[in-house]
């Protein structure tokens, strides 16, 4: 771990009883959903983490019990540091408080998570799907959502697949 | 002026009406300025000085579908874009042609998944498919030449039948 | 019935001002098919006369499912997906991906491969900026810029074709090195480009930098202040044009960028003109890096000798049984990565391109998240266009330099 990062990790451990993991010099801190806004505010105001570089999630269905990890990747330009905060949440429609009033970038990123994972953000100003069509069902990046596959059209099955393409013969 | 200066005095030229109509259609085909993804960059290259599509009367890209005869679907078509694409096609006046440029528009390419149409022929009828990911500008120009050949072979009977089907 | 209900825009009701509901301001739809949205972006504009009151971007018309599709492929095969992500910068995306994989499995890369990576990535940065300059020229009615810029871009694409056989989607970088060594003509081709390009940039600047038409349309337009930029996660040239000296090539050097002497151009004005100046200056700096990297390019192997992750060269397969086994195993099953998660970022022409890569012990990535710079850079658009004319929107949008493939993934 970077020396400059140690006091930051220590203070988060004290304040939020956060646990941490380390892999290839990257620090992952785990905090509870209700603490995330306070943790982000502390990191932004006290420790100069100005940029929320990435906000995403990982789905561990069905192997692990806290099904989702919401991942906040923070960057400090002034100190040239990075830290990752993870928020484990469970259930098929989990709720996390929104971070839009801490970082404006969270607005679109949280909409993306709502669209792709079905994670709801309490107090989000504009909860709509962002990438998928409005009428789509399901959340594509969940592990129980199939990738989707259509059979390619070759010479041997040309006619069979052509039946599915009513517009091709106009 | 013009033709006479270049070709000399030709006097009277006889040809069929179909021939004249098809000739004029091929040499002033206005494509729609409609780029979707990576292939759109190669389409721009085909327009640029090194390849220069205007040699074939194709340089006038129209931003409005109502002014164009040719739709070059340059890139992957997502499920959200499909209805928009169909609407643009419906807004184009007859006669109209479609080139599916690149693998994604032709058959889905490397993306066989939930988000992408496996070939734009699920949405609009396609006349020419151009292979490549993305196709080189020469390949696109070859596709355009192929569509010229197709247009030159059309007859009034075919126009009438097509018109009957659509109305 | 109000104007909003008439056109079926009920879902945007909470985003527009009160005046739109009474019909005092006009709602205008720009895109998804529009010549100056650089792809399939849809902007819903609320206009008071010709002044923009609100701008609501609607994205997703190019959503390709790249993140999901990469989870279904092995680490080697998933790389082709990254090419098609930000299609102005395929080589830079490859670099971000292979660096993430190398970090995850702890793989070393030979010095010659690092040098080649730097040369090609910087050439790609120049070519990306050339497309930006050409298309923003078109947007601002400088038609000739498009023709000049694409002339030089063809020269760069010829170099890519020389080394990889493809003009755009090269997939030339592989985990552990590059695909193969460059041909002998490579050095001359790059030297020719280095010789010719500074004069060409001078030409562009003669045409544009002090052109009163360009100044009128860009000076003081679309000001982005530092606090807004940081809060919206803006990176790359727009952030540097606002006065923050943040370039991952300098701040966290990778691929041996610390050996090269180059500057990070910054401005403080934060307007459209500053973003233009920063990008043009970046092209010159990139060329400096290319020249130094070419001069320093060492001889030696171009891919790592670690046979657990890197396939042996073709020549070995015929003579060594072990090589044949490695080749077969790596291309059918692939290599496995530890059950861990890493975040690795590089500086793309548009900003910080980051990858969150998570392995599960098997040969396929468990989760790939692509932190794409255009996504966040576009989000700030609605803030900086307020109060400007519709015609200025085109200038601002092109100065942010978005790529829709990068946004929608």
Alpha-carbon torsion angle B31, B32, B35, B39, nearest 10: -10
Q: Any idea what the CATH number is for the domain that residue A29 is in?
A: 3.30.460.80
According to the model, what pLDDT value does residue C202 have?
A: 92
CB C66 within 8 A of CB C385: no
Residue that has been written with the tokens 């003669």 in this structure: C206
Residue in C with minimal Cα distance to B114: C65
Distance CA A110, CA A104 (A): 10
According to the model, what pLDDT value does residue C4 have?
A: 53
Task: Enumerate the H helices of chain B as residue ranges.
Answer: 3-7, 17-27, 38-47, 82-91, 102-107, 137-152, 156-166
Q: Within an 8 Å CB–CB cutoff, is residue C405 touching chain B?
A: yes
Quick one: which H or E segment has residue C3? helix C3-6
Q: Answer yes or no: is A58 within a domain.
A: yes
Q: Answer yes or no: is A166 within a domain.
A: no
Structure tokens at C344: 């690795």
Task: With beta carbons under 8 A apart, name residues in chain A contacting B123.
Answer: 167
Q: Answer yes or no: is A9 within a domain.
A: yes
| Number of independent structural domains in chain A | 1
The residues pairing with C303 across neighbouring beta strands, listed in sequence order, are C177
Yes or no, beta carbons of B81 and C40 under 8 Å apart = yes
Residue of B30, B31, B36 to mutate for C, most C C-beta atoms under 10 A: B36
- Please tell me the least confidently modeled range out of A18-27, B106-115, B128-137, C49-58: A18-27
Distance CA C1, CA A31 (A): 49
pLDDT tens string B26-85: 888 888 877 888 888 888 888 888 888 888 777 778 888 888 888 988 888 998 888 888
Task: With beta carbons under 8 A apart, name residues in chain A contacting B80.
Answer: 131-133
Gyration radius from chain C CA atoms = 23
Sorted by sequence, the CB contacts under 8 Å of residue C155 that are 6+ apart come out as: C192, C193, C196
A127, with CB counted inside 10 A (0-12, 13-18, 19+), is middle
Q: Answer yes or no: is A153 within a domain.
A: no
Structure tokens at A36: 């995330």
pLDDT tens string C288-330: 999 999 999 999 888 888 888 888 888 888 898 988 998 888 8
Average pLDDT score over residue span B151-159: 82
Check if the interface score ipTM surpasses 0.90: no
Yes or no, beta carbons of A58 and C233 under 8 Å apart = no
Domains of chain C plus CATH, in order, are 3-58 (no CATH), 90-305 (1.10.645.10)
Distance CA A9, CA B152 (A): 73
Q: Answer yes or no: is A11 within a domain.
A: yes
Kindly list the residues of chain B whose beta carbon comes within 8 Å of any beta carbon in chain A: 79-80, 86, 107-108, 112-115, 118-119, 121-126, 165-166
Structure tokens at B55: 């040699």
Distance CA A62, CA A64 (A): 6
DSSP code, position C233: T
Point out the residues of chain A with pLDDT beneath 50: none
Gyration radius from chain B CA atoms = 17
Peptide bond between residue A158 and the one before it cis (omega within 30 degrees of 0): no
Structural domain including A119 reads: 3-137
Least Cα distance to C155 among C281, C260, C287, C349 occurs for C287
Q: Answer yes or no: is A108 within a domain.
A: yes
CB C46 within 8 A of CB C16: yes
Task: With beta carbons under 8 A apart, name residues in chain C contacting B63.
Answer: 33-35
According to the model, what pLDDT value does residue C128 have?
A: 92
Structure tokens at C124: 């790609």
Q: So what's the architecture of B29-159 in CATH?
A: 3-Layer(aba) Sandwich (3.40)
Task: With beta carbons under 8 A apart, name residues in chain A contacting C342.
Answer: 23-24, 26
Task: With beta carbons under 8 A apart, name residues in chain B contacting C34.
Answer: 63
Q: Answer yes or no: is A163 within a domain.
A: no
Point out the residues of chain C with pLDDT beneath 70: 1-9, 37
Distance CA C369, CA C358 (A): 9
Residue of A2, A26, A105, A142 to mutate for C, most C C-beta atoms under 10 A: A105
The residues pairing with B100 across neighbouring beta strands, listed in sequence order, are B73, B129
Q: Within an 8 Å CB–CB cutoff, is residue B133 touching chain C?
A: yes
Gyration radius from chain A CA atoms = 21
Distance CA C207, CA C261 (A): 29
Yes or no, beta carbons of C61 and B78 under 8 Å apart = yes
Yes or no, beta carbons of C341 and A52 under 8 Å apart = no
Distance CA C169, CA C162 (A): 13
């Amino acid at each position: 771990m970077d020396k400059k990062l140690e006091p930051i990790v220590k203070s988060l451990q004290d304040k939020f009883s956060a646990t941490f993991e380390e892999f290839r010099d990257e620090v992952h801190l785990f905090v509870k959903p209700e603490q995330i806004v306070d943790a982000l505010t502390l990191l932004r105001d006290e420790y100069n983490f100005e940029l929320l570089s990435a906000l995403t999630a990982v789905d561990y269905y069905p192997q692990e019990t806290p099904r989702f990890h919401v991942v906040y990747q923070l960057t400090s330009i002034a100190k040239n540091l990075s830290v990752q905060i993870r928020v484990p949440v469970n259930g098929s429609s989990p709720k996390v408080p929104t971070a839009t009033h801490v970082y404006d970038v969270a607005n679109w990123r949280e909409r993306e998570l709502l669209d792709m994972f079905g994670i709801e953000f309490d107090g989000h100003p504009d909860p709509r799907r962002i990438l998928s069509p409005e009428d789509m069902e399901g959340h594509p990046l969940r592990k129980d959502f199939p990738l989707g596959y259509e059979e390619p059209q070759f010479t041997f099955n040309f006619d069979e697949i052509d039946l599915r393409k009513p517009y091709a013969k106009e | 002026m013009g033709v006479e200066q270049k070709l000399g005095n030709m006097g009277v030229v006889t040809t069929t009406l179909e021939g004249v109509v098809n000739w004029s259609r091929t040499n002033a085909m206005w494509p729609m300025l409609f780029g979707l993804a990576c292939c759109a960059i190669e389409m721009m290259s085909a327009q640029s000085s090194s390849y220069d599509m205007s040699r074939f009367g194709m340089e006038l890209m129209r931003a409005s579908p109502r002014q164009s005869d040719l739709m070059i679907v340059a890139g992957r078509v997502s499920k959200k874009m499909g209805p928009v694409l169909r609407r643009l096609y419906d807004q184009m006046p007859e006669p109209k042609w479609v080139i599916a440029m690149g693998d994604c528009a032709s058959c889905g390419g490397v993306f066989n998944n939930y988000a992408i149409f496996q070939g734009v022929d699920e949405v609009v009828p396609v006349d020419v498919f151009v292979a490549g990911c993305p196709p080189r500008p020469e390949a696109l120009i070859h596709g355009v030449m192929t569509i010229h050949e197709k247009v030159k072979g059309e007859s009034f009977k075919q126009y009438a039948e097509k018109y009957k089907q659509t109305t | 019935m109000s104007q909003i209900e008439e056109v079926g825009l009920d879902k945007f009701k909470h985003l527009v001002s009160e005046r739109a509901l009474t019909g005092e301001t006009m709602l205008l739809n720009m895109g998804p098919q529009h010549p100056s949205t650089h792809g399939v972006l849809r902007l819903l504009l609320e206009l008071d006369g010709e002044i923009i009151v609100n701008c609501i971007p609607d994205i997703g018309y190019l959503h390709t499912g790249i993140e999901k599709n990469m989870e279904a492929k092995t680490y080697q095969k998933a790389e082709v997906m990254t090419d098609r992500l930000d299609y102005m910068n395929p080589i830079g995306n490859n670099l971000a991906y292979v660096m993430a994989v190398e970090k995850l499995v702890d793989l070393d890369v030979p010095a010659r491969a690092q040098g080649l990576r730097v040369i090609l990535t910087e050439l790609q940065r120049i070519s990306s900026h050339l497309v930006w300059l050409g298309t923003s020229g078109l947007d601002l009615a400088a038609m000739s810029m498009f023709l000049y810029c694409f002339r030089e871009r063809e020269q760069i694409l010829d170099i890519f074709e020389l080394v990889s056989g493809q003009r755009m989607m090269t997939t030339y970088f592989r985990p552990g090195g590059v695909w193969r060594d460059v041909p002998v003509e490579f050095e001359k081709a790059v030297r020719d480009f280095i010789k010719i390009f500074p004069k060409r940039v001078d030409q562009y600047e003669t045409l544009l930098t002090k052109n009163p038409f360009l100044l009128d349309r860009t000076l003081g337009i679309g000001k982005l202040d530092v606090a807004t930029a940081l809060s919206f996660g803006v990176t790359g040239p727009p952030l540097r044009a606002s006065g923050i000296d943040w370039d991952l090539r300098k701040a966290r050097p990778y691929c041996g960028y610390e050996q090269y002497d180059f500057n990070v151009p910054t401005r403080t004005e934060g307007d459209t003109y500053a973003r233009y100046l920063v990008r043009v200056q970046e092209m010159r700096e990139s060329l400096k890096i290319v020249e130094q990297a070419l001069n320093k390019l060492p001889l030696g192997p171009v891919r790592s000798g670690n046979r657990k992750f890197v396939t042996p060269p073709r020549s070995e397969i015929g003579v060594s049984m072990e090589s044949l086994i490695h080749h077969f195993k790596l291309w059918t099953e692939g290599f496995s990565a530890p059950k861990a998660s890493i975040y690795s970022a590089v500086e793309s022409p548009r900003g910080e391109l980051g990858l969150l890569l998570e392995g599960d012990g098997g040969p396929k990535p468990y989760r790939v998240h692509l932190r794409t710079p255009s996504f966040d850079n576009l989000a700030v658009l609605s803030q900086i266009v307020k109060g400007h004319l519709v015609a200025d929107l085109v200038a601002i949008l092109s100065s942010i330099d978005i790529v829709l493939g990068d946004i929608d993934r």
